[in-house]
Amino acid sequence: MAAACDYVLATEKAAIKLSELTIGIGPFVIAPAVERKMGLSGFSELALNATAWKSAYWAKEKGLYAKVFDTVKEMDIEVENLATKLSLYNVNALIEMKKVLWKGTDNWTSLLEERAEISGDLVLSDFTKKALQKFKKK
């Protein structure tokens, strides 16, 4: 979800991981958003090292988070400050900025459908069925 946002604030406890490969599928559907936000190298590192958690500071370095705070209280103060600033901006300028930020994503409807089909096929594989059975037993 964070990758689909334009500006993300997080606490230092907001570690991330893409673990889909561990159960025989991949992060295909979310890949366009993650790659857009973090670049191909950040996405590749997350997707291929599917068992490792990455710190909030790593995610900030890769562009997922704009700022990382020590506490929720500090983050909440920044949320209020940012909301106030945004409310003072020209609405039309913000609309145009959103268009610029999301340029090149016009094909996402068909891309996400294609990626969902890949995931759907993989989730029916023997590998994934066995991997998911392990979760049922826990």
What number of other Cβ atoms are within 10 A of residue 108's Cβ? 14
Best CA proximity match to 56, nearest among 44, 40, 72: 72
Best CA proximity match to 16, nearest among 39, 50, 48: 50
Checking if the pLDDT of 137 tops 80, the result is no
9-63: per-residue pLDDT in tens?
999 999 999 999 999 999 999 999 999 999 999 999 999 999 999 999 999 999 9
d(C-alpha 7, C-alpha 88), whole Å? 17
Q: Give residue 106's pLDDT.
A: 92
Give residue limits of the domains in the chain. Answer: 2-137
Mean pLDDT, residues 120-133 taken together: 90
**72-76-78-81 Cα dihedral, nearest 10 degrees:** -170
Best CA proximity match to 33, nearest among 4, 65, 56, 67: 4
Q: Give residue 119's pLDDT.
A: 92
pLDDT category of residue 136 using cuts at 50, 70 and 90: confident
pLDDT category of residue 138 using cuts at 50, 70 and 90: low
Q: Which CATH superfamily is domain 2-137 in?
A: 2-enoyl-CoA Hydratase; Chain A, domain 1 (3.90.226.10)
Query: Encoding tokens for residue 71?
Result: 């506490």
Q: Give residue 132's pLDDT.
A: 86
64-118: per-residue pLDDT in tens?
999 999 999 999 999 999 999 999 999 999 999 999 999 999 999 999 999 999 9
pTM of the full structure:
0.87
Q: Give residue 15's pLDDT.
A: 98
